[in-house]
Amino acid sequence: MPKHILVGYDSSETARRAYLFALDLARCAGARVSVVSVYQLENGADTAPLVMADNGDERLADLRAEVGQLAPDPGIEVGVAMVHGSPGDALLAYVEKHGADHIVVGHTGRGALARWLMGSTSTDVLAKAHVPVTVVR
């Protein structure tokens, strides 16, 4: 049974379902949950310090509030984090750094062209993860 569940979260409906699934799994296993949102900067690495200084704390507070409203459960330890990078790689790096032993992600159901153009986080995580992965539709 998992002890530390990572949930990839992007505020989509499937991410919300993934989070609720992870809470149910954590409740059964006595695990903790880390909700991780990944952001990418469009203009390159030079803008990262500026963006983080301007609104990083506010964005993290908004994310914590959103997650807290979905299904508050004082019996489950839930942490919230924002990281930068390519979504699949950033989630897998978080797993390695923080010792998560299960990943839960949502699947958006985009078509083949959209997946080819933008990639698929769930496919990327499934292909590279060294821990169990649950994809929620």
Going from the N-terminus, what domains does the chain have, and what CATH number goes with each?
A: 4-136 (3.40.50.620)
In which element (H, E) is residue 26 found?
helix 13-29
- pLDDT tens-digit profile of 87-135? 999 999 999 999 999 999 998 765 544 444 345 788 889 999 999 999 9
HSE toward the beta carbon, residue 34, CA cutoff 13 A: 23
Residue 134: how many other CB atoms lie within 10 Å:
17
Amino acid at 64: R
- Which range (1-5, 19-23, 39-43, 75-79) has the least confidence? 39-43
pLDDT > 50? residue 42: yes
Report the chain's C-alpha Rg in angstroms.
Answer: 15
- pLDDT tens-digit profile of 55-98? 678 889 999 999 999 988 889 999 999 999 989 999 999 999 99
Decide: helix, strand or coil at residue 46.
Answer: helix
